[in-house]
Chain A
Amino acid sequence: MDVAVARAHDGIAEVREAGVAAVDDKIAAILLMGADAPEATYRLSNEIFAEAGAFDLAEVSAAAFSLCCLLSSARGAGSPEAIRVHLNALRALRRADAPAGVILAGLSAIVARYADAPEPEPTERRL
């Protein structure tokens, strides 16, 4: 099993460069869309969450997940300011010197303020 997992990680490493470039393109795309297209922004941020996470960009992935949580609440999707803060956070977190902990704590506070109800945690669920 360890060999198979190691080979899988090697396979991900092979596509990492192209994948990270694609994540950056998607961040640029949602910065252009802004708060005007919440459904398209939700779809793209969901892709950023998944792909950045697979390439070990944990902070970017967490910020994208936070944006998904915000956009899946009615109040959050209707708040251009809260969406704009998330978009700026995504851009900032791509810089090496970004204070990731402070930024993510701020995003958590925003999502908590706009939440309709508790969101499902990103954990495994057995059917």
Chain B
Amino acid sequence: MPANDSGRVNLAMAHVLLIDASQHSLDILAQVIRGFGAEHVYRATNVAEAEQTLNRVSIDLIVIDPALKDGDGFAFLNALRRSKNEPNCYAPVILISGHSRRADVARARDTGASFFIVKPIKPTVLLERILWIGRDKRPFVEVSSGYCGPDRRFKFEGPPIGSDGRRQDDMSSAIGGAAAPNLSDDELSFMLKPQKVSL
């Protein structure tokens, strides 16, 4: 679901899977998503229905409330991320939730969702997040400790102090020795001196 050069996201061709235990919440969500222009909207009220859809359709966006009656939505999402069901295992996921118990917030962070928003659904907020996901350049990572999903780091500020990081592109916090002799005063003055430039 990439954004084009103008930053617009066209949902007309997108296949969107909505998962929520409540039919009425699904009605609201489906109306909102169709209002955004999506024409291929699939609904599931439980894990079994969601898996059936994921096994037959390539999905571009999943919107899920993890409080499902027939199973744990967090576990379902984790299993999807670790599955070989391509391309669906890489589909962007917006996790929506009503009242969240404290433990659920931590699980949501670690479950591989792209974004977490709270109910009641507000069309403006949902659309902003969909547009944001369309522009999202975060890599998909799989960490030995168990996390699998979009990189949870939104800003790259290097590894935590005192650690060497876990990624190949993590730079060491140690500066190391100089690679060349220090510049002289004259060389520094020359660099700082205003130069006349003819255009």
Contact = CB atoms under 8 A, between A and B. Distances in A.
Interface residues of A, number: 40
B71 interface: no
B165 interface: no
A14 B100 CA distance: 28
Nearest to B30: A11
Interface-central residue, B102, B108, B120, by most chain A CB under 10 Å: B120
B127 A47 contact: no
User: Chain B contact residues (Cβ within 8 angstroms of A): what range?
Assistant: 35 or more
Contacts of B131: 1
B28 A54 contact: yes
A4 B124 CA distance: 9
Interface in B99-123: 99-102, 105, 108-109, 113-121, 123
A46 B98 contact: yes
Interface string B85-101: 00000000000001111
Nearest to A22: B24
A89 to B, nearest CB: 16
Contacts of A10: 35
A122 B99 contact: yes
Contacts of A22: 24
B61 interface: no
26 contacts: A1-B127, A4-B36, A4-B37, A4-B123, A8-B32, A8-B36, A8-B123, A9-B35, A9-B123, A11-B31, A11-B32, A15-B24, A18-B24, A49-B98, A49-B119, A50-B98, A54-B28, A54-B119, A61-B120, A65-B98, A68-B98, A72-B101, A120-B105, A125-B108, A126-B115, A127-B114
Given A11-B32, A12-B32, A119-B102, 7 more contacts: A4-B35, A4-B36, A6-B35, A19-B28, A50-B119, A50-B120, A127-B113
